[in-house]
Amino acid sequence: MSMLYSEQVMDHFAHPRNVGVIENADGIGEIGNAKCGDIMKMYLKIENNIIVDVKFKTFGCGAAVATSSMATEMIKGKSVDDALALTNKAVIEALGGLPAVKVHCSVLAEEAVKCALADYYKKQGIDHPVIKEAEEIMGHDDDHEHEIPEE
Amino acid sequence: MKRYVYADNAATTPVSREVVDAMMPYLTEKWGNPSSLHAKGREAAIALEDARSRIAACLGADAKEMFFTSCGSEADNWAIKGAAYAGKKKGKTHIITSAIEHHAALHACAALEKDGFTVTYLGVDDKGIVSIDELKAAITDKTALVSVMLANNEIGTIEPIAEIAKIAHEHGALMFTDAVQAIGNIPVNVKELGVDMLALSGHKIHAPKGIGALYIKKGVRIDNLIDGGGQERSKRGGTENMPYIVGLATAMESAIARLPEMAKVAELRDYLMDSLLAKVPYSTLNGPRGDARLPGNVNIGFEFIEGESMLLLLDYEGIACSTGSACSSASLDPSHVLLAIGVPHERAHGSLRLSISNETTKDDADYILEKLPPIIQRLRDMSPLYEEVSKEEK
C-alpha cells in the first residue's frame, strides 16, 4: 500500500493556507477526536451569504493538515451554498489524490466545513437541513471508523 | 549545505563498506551452489560453513545450531510456528508471548490462534518489562512455547529473557527470543540467555536486507516452515543466499567488535533524551532509563501534536526518524507497544522514535536539538488541542 503523498499534499502540508482562528467567527465547526489522531477546527466569517474569511486549526497527520488547508481554499470567497456542496472527493481531486488510508482525512475536512456552516445557521436562527446533518456527524464522531476503501 | 542525520537505525542501517567488500566475490567469481559437489560448489560450501561458524561464535552457539533464513520475520515465523506445530504433536496447543512483540512474531501467533492454538499475551509494566507474575499464572504443561523479544524495537526495553527461559523450561515449554534489535547493541549469548531459539536479522547491523538466521539449540526439534532440497541440514529449503550469508558473518563480527562503543552511544542517547525533555514542555519519555534500555533508543511523546507531521517536517530538515502514530502506518491504530505500556491514545499519536548508532555524533544530536523544538512549536500553534492549553495558561 502506497503511503506516498502527491506534490499538492506536500505543498499544503508544508505551507498550509489559512491557519489560525477568527475572533467572533460567524460559524465554528470542530470534528474528530484526539484518540483517533485527528481533530479539525474551522472558523468562518460570513457576509451576505459569502464566506469572506476562513481559518483552521488541525491536530493530525500530513494529510489532515493538507485536506484542511485545501478545503479552506476551496470555500474562501464562495457562497454558503457552494461551501455546502463541497465534497471530500473534490478535496481529494484538488490535492491530486490521497493514499487510501488517508481518505478519512478528507471526510473530516468536508465534515468540519458542514459543522461550521451548521453553527452559522444556528447562530442566525435559521433552520437548515445541514444542522441535522452536523448533529449526525457529531453523533457518530466519537467512534468514527477509519474505513479504508478498496483501491 | 543541508545536513543529513539518520536517526532511524532501528528501522534499518546502511550496508557497510566492509560487508560489501566481503560479499563482492560471491556476487562475481565465487558464484557456486554450495550443494554442488564440483569445485565451484565446494568453494561455496566452505564459505557457507565458515560464515556459519563465525556467526555461531558471535552468539556462543555451535555452528550446527545456526540456520540461515531470508529475514528476521522468517526466523520469527519459523521458530513460533515450527515450535507450535511440533508441540501440537505432543498435545501442547498453548503459546505464551508478550503484548509488545514485533508484528512478525505477533501475527505469527495470531495465525496460530486461527488454527486452533490458544495464545496468552503477557502484559508489560509502564516501562515495557514483561510481567513475570502473569507468565507464572499462564504457563501450564500444555504450553508449547514462550516467545518474548530480547529488546523492544520501539521503546528499547530489554527483557529478562534468562529468567523467563528458566520458567518456560520448568514447565517443559520451549523458549524463543527475537533478538533482531538486540544484536550489536548489547551482548547476546544463547547459553547465558538459556533460550532454545533466537532470531536475528542482517539489515539492522549493516548487512543487506534479505538475510536472517535462526539459532536452534541442539536437540530441539521444530517443524519446518520451508521444505525443499535438503539445504540447511534439511531444515530450511532453498539454495543458500551466499553473498548475503558471507556479508552477515562480517556484519556480525563487526557488530560484536563495536559493543565496547555502546556505552558512549548510551551517553549520547541520554544527552539527546534529557535535553529534549528539558527543552520541550508537555513531553514524556516512553520506556525505561539506563541499562534496561537499548543504548541507541530515544522515544518521546510530545503532547497536542501528531507524529507523522513531526516526521515529515524533520525530513525537510534532513533528519530521519520514525513515529508510533497511527497515521504513519497502514493500520491506523497507534503503536501497540505504547498502548501496552499505558500511554493514552492521544499521546501515542505524538510519539517520536530517534534511534541513534555509534556513527551518530554530538553535532548530530545538537542538530536534532536545534531543529525539533521549533517544529513541535509550529505544530502546536496549529493544533486546536494546544489552543485550549495555552488559553488556560494565560
Domain total in chain A: 1
Interface of B with A (CB under 8 A): 304-309, 312-313, 316, 325-328, 330, 332, 334, 345-346, 349, 381-387
**Structural domain harbouring A87:** 7-140
- Write out chain A residues lying below 8 Å of B376, CB-based: none
- Rounded to whole angstroms, what are the CA distances from B232 to B47, B157, B201, B213, B227? 14, 33, 17, 11, 10
Instruction: Output the nine-digit C-alpha cell for B171.
Output: 514447565
CA–CA dist B85, B82 (Å, integer): 5
- Nearest to B80, CA basis, from B54, B115, B55, B53: B115
Is A2 part of a structural domain of the chain? no
b/e per residue A121-139 (b: at least 16 CB within 10 A):
beeeeeebebbebbeebee
Contact A58 B330 (CB under 8 A): no
Q: How confident is the model at residue A37 (pLDDT cuts 50, 70, 90)?
A: confident
Terminus-to-terminus CA distance in chain B, angstroms?
Answer: 40
Is A73 part of a structural domain of the chain? yes
CA–CA dist B221, B200 (Å, integer): 19
Which of B327, B351, B376 is the mutation pick for testing A, counting most A CBs within 10 A?
Answer: B327
pLDDT in tens, chain B (394 residues): 679 999 999 999 999 999 999 999 999 999 999 999 999 999 999 999 999 999 999 999 999 999 999 999 999 999 999 999 999 999 999 999 999 999 999 999 999 999 999 999 999 999 999 999 999 999 999 999 999 999 999 999 999 999 999 999 999 999 999 999 999 999 999 999 999 999 999 999 999 999 999 999 999 999 999 999 999 999 999 999 999 999 999 999 999 999 999 999 999 999 999 999 999 999 999 999 999 999 999 999 999 999 999 999 999 999 999 997 765 555 667 899 999 999 998 899 999 999 999 999 999 999 999 999 999 999 999 999 998 787 777 6
Residue B70, pLDDT score? 98
Nearest CA in chain A to B326: A37
Residue A33, pLDDT score? 84
**φ, ψ for residue A33, nearest 5 deg:** -150, 155
More confident residue, A138 or A91: A91
CA–CA dist A109, B107 (Å, integer): 34
- Rounded to whole angstroms, what are the CA distances from A87 to A64, A66, A103, B354? 15, 15, 12, 38
CA–CA dist B91, B288 (Å, integer): 38
> In a 10 Å sphere around its CB, with 0-12 CB exposed, 13-18 middle and 19+ buried, how is residue A97 labelled?
middle
Number of Cβ pairs < 8 A linking chain A and chain B = 79
What DSSP string runs through B210-268? S-EEEEE-TT-----SS--SSHHHHTS-S---HHHHHHHHHHHHHHHHHGGGHHHHHHH
Which neighbouring-strand residues pair with B322?
A: B353
Over residues A131-141, the mean pLDDT reads 85
Q: Mean pLDDT across chain A, nearest whole number? A: 91
Is A14 part of a structural domain of the chain? yes
Is A147 part of a structural domain of the chain? no
CATH number of the domain residue A110 falls in: 3.90.1010.10
Catalogue the long-range contacts made by A133-142 (C-beta closer than 8 Å, 24 or more residues apart). Answer: A134/A29, A137/A31, A137/A111, A138/A31, A141/A31, A141/A32, A141/A33, A141/A111, A142/A33
Contact B327 A62 (CB under 8 A): yes
3-state secondary structure of B39: helix
Q: Is the pLDDT of residue A148 over 60?
A: no
Other Cβ atoms within 10 Å of B126 Cβ, number: 12
- Write out chain A residues lying below 8 Å of B385, CB-based: 34, 39, 59
3-state secondary structure of B121: strand
> In a 10 Å sphere around its CB, with 0-12 CB exposed, 13-18 middle and 19+ buried, how is residue B5 labelled?
buried
Q: Is the pLDDT of residue A151 over 50?
A: no
Is A97 part of a structural domain of the chain? yes
Q: Is the pLDDT of residue A1 over 50?
A: no
Amino acid at B159: E
Contact B330 A101 (CB under 8 A): yes
Other Cβ atoms within 10 Å of B88 Cβ, number: 16
Residue A140, pLDDT score? 73
Residue A119, pLDDT score? 97
Is A62 part of a structural domain of the chain? yes
Q: Is the pLDDT of residue A150 over 50?
A: no
CA–CA dist A120, A47 (Å, integer): 11
Q: How far away is chain B from the Cα of A78, in angstroms, using its nearest Cα?
A: 24
Entry field: residues in chain B: 394
For chain B, domains (ranges, CATH) are 5-13+260-393 (3.90.1150.10), 17-257 (3.40.640.10)
Other Cβ atoms within 10 Å of A16 Cβ, number: 20
A105 is catalytic: yes
Which neighbouring-strand residues pair with B297?
A: B355
Is A112 part of a structural domain of the chain? yes
Q: Which of B308, B383, B385 sits opposite A62 (nearest CB)?
A: B308
Q: From its phi and psi, is residue B244 left (phi > 0), alpha (psi between -120 and 50) or beta?
A: alpha
ipTM: 0.90
CA–CA dist B371, B317 (Å, integer): 7
Contact A61 B385 (CB under 8 A): no
CA–CA dist B114, A44 (Å, integer): 51
Dihedral angle of Cα B222, B104, B160, B283, to the nearest 10 degrees: 180
Residue B326, pLDDT score? 65
- Nearest to B380, CA basis, from A150, A60, A25: A60
Is A150 part of a structural domain of the chain? no
Over residues A10-21, the mean pLDDT reads 97
Angle between helices A62-75 and A7-14 (to 10 degrees): 90
Q: Give the model confidence (pLDDT) of B358-376 as tens digits.
A: 999 999 999 999 999 999 9
Question: Cβ(B365)–Cβ(B356) under 8 Å?
Answer: yes
Residue B318, pLDDT score? 97
Which of B329, B349, B378, B389 is the mutation pick for testing A, counting most A CBs within 10 A?
Answer: B349
- Nearest to B95, CA basis, from B76, B79, B118: B118
- Write out chain A residues lying below 8 Å of B316, CB-based: 14
CA–CA dist B44, A106 (Å, integer): 56
What DSSP string runs through chain A? ---PPPHHHHHHHHS-SSBS--TT-SEEEEEEETTTTEEEEEEEEEETTEEEEEEEEEES-HHHHHHHHHHHHHHTTSBHHHHHT--HHHHHHHTT---GGGHHHHHHHHHHHHHHHHHHHHHHT---HHHHHHHHHHHHHTT--------
Interface of A with B (CB under 8 A): 1, 3, 10, 13-14, 16, 19, 21, 30, 34-41, 57-65, 101-102, 146, 148
3-state secondary structure of B347: helix
